[in-house]
Amino acid sequence: MDWIPVDLERSARRIERDIETLAGPEYTRSEEAIRRYAYTPEYRNTLDYFIRELEDAGLECSEDPVGNLVARNRPAGERVFGIGSHCDSNRNGGKYDGTMGVAAAVEVCRLNRELGLDLPLQVISFLEEEGSGFGQMVLGSRIVAGRVTEEELMGFRAIDDGRPFFEHAKEAGYEPERWRECARILDDLVGWIELHIEQARVLEDTGKRLGIVDAIAGYVHADIAVRGRSDHAGATPMDLRSDAGLVMAECMLELERLAREAGRGTVGTVGEAELEPNLINAVPGRARFSLDIRGVDEEAFRGVARAIETFAREAAGRRGASAEYSERQSLPVTPLDERVVGALEEAARESGEPYLRMASGAAHDTMCVAERVPAAMVFVPCEGGVSHSPEERADPEDAALGAAVMLNAIRRLVTAG
């Protein structure tokens, strides 16, 4: 099937306009970073902006009972191809994470109409992918996939004011008690593609403009709490201490060793660390640290989680302390659909631009969509791999290329049936 040529410069200008507009003061709660999350006025303004753009492209927009945005160019019940991402942000976010994916999906819809292709499309912008409002990653898509229970939803509380998720959702005009009906937004989808910035340096370092993603890493998020004994930092001899901080330090180094030894793309990170009493002249009696362990090999990354739990208990015991492991959340590896991946690869080759087939180390809404719908992702480079930061940078020209590749892949998939 012949490549459909696209005016990439015009597409890039439109995507850049979308992104720069949504970096304005109406769309963020801070002058220092992009901060917008579920049920805030700034998030509402962002949805309204995309609704206007999608309606101009010929789509009809609606929102599900918790606030996932859905736009279609076909009546309900007709088969459509899904595209989209999320437009909420990290609490210290940049302009491109998520938002560029929704902007690229909107551009696919514009091109579809302008080129007279009439491809059946549905755009979704998922709620709370970053978890900045309620501390729950990929929350909107997890609700759609049925990966939460009503008891869990009732227990989720806003980070800022402690009020329940249901209360915030109702106040924003939604009907969260009907959350099970959110699953319907995937009913008509024959496929799904999400464009996202890579959030790493692989594409940049290899000189590629496109990444075709064939798997998304699974992960374990957990905590280890160490109980030792707090003593005076000057009066207590080194061999009489039960220093919880040293247990934490040993575990951090062991996590690095275990992840390297596991290989196969496994990574391990301690991103949060706390000491008590946290005084310069006191031996730490307690420590807590987080674990983020990921990979595309299920046994490898879960093996690291098991091993670091055992190591922590043993390391604590050697110092007269104790350690307790508690899991926050765990998600399995998500293999993506070979047919959709293949169509994207073929479209990328036809574009003449360099691309790389790769896995995603970061979690995305596509993990949840892929349970029910054949799915894949497109990555575009971000400068220096910087993400979740106001310093985040990506090139709208790369997003325009990604949108053109998506358009051509969808045409191939829809035509082939």
Q: Which parts are annotated binding residues for Zn(2+)?
A: 86, 97, 130, 196, 388
Task: Report which DSSP code applies to 95.
Answer: S
Kindly write down the DSSP assignment for every residue of 391-408, as one continuous string. T----HHHHHHHHHHHHH
- Give the span between the Cα atoms of 354 and 351, in whole angstroms: 9
173: its two tokens = 């005009």
- Give the span between the Cα atoms of 304 and 261, in whole angstroms: 9
Residue 100 contacts by C-beta under 8 Å, 6 or more apart in sequence? Answer: 15, 19, 85, 195, 196, 197, 380, 394, 396, 399
φ, ψ of residue 213 in degrees (nearest 5): -90, 125
Q: Are strands 273-276 and 286-295 parallel, antiparallel or unpaired?
A: antiparallel
- Give the span between the Cα atoms of 363 and 368, in whole angstroms: 10
Q: List residues forming the annotated binding site.
A: 86, 97, 130, 196, 388
Please state, as a whole number, how many other Cβ atoms lie within 10 Å of the Cβ of residue 103.
27
- Give the span between the Cα atoms of 399 and 378, in whole angstroms: 9
- Give the span between the Cα atoms of 140 and 216, in whole angstroms: 18
3-state secondary structure of 128: coil
User: End-to-end distance of the chain based on CA atoms, in angstroms?
Assistant: 14
- Give the span between the Cα atoms of 103 and 99, in whole angstroms: 6
3-state secondary structure of 222: strand
What is the amino acid identity at position 249? Answer: A
- Give the span between the Cα atoms of 411 and 81, in whole angstroms: 10
